[in-house]
Amino acid sequence: MTDMTTPIIGKPAPDFTAESTFGTISLKNCEGRGVILYFYPKDNTPGCTTETQDFKMLHDDFLQAGCVVIGASRDSLKSHENFSQKLELPFPLIADKEEVLCNQYGVMKQKMMYGKQVRGIERSTFLIDASGKLVQMWRGLKVPGHAEEVLQSARSLT
């Protein structure tokens, strides 16, 4: 297990290169555009599906604000491809089975599920500006209204 880091607002966001539904992507590839990087627990679960659909619905608005949207979870690339096709996603989903990206962004947490302690992703979103600096982060967030809140913050980048 790699060390968990906690990204710091105002500092460069942790760089990454990862496999996604759009091929290999990295933070460096996104330079010149803002990045919305959101972590969610699992493909095809109610909250994660709603959150992903909300980001999809506002995708054009994020592009107009100069930002790309990237989703990430520990699901396999195959699971992501099916989820992405089902929802017709216009943005990539990163398959982080080894939890490298999750650990870089400090999103792995002990959670209670059905009375048992399990280790999983804390639903989190990171807003990174065009220079690669972390501007804002949301942790342990609630899905309703979240994508709209992120969009408002993304609009304030330009």
Q: Collapsing DSSP states into helix, strand and coil, what is residue 138? A: strand
Q: Which amino acid would we find at residue 134?
A: L
Q: If you ran DSSP here, which 8-state letter would residue 4 be given?
A: P
Number of H helices, E strands in the chain: 5, 9
Q: For helices 146-155 and 46-57, give the axis angle rounded to 10 degrees.
A: 30
48 is catalytic: yes
Identify whether the C-beta of residue 148 lies closer than 8 Å to the C-beta of residue 29: no
**Which of 30, 48, 67, 102 does the annotation list as catalytic?**
48
Interatomic CA distance for residues 150 and 48, integer angstroms: 16
List active site positions.
48
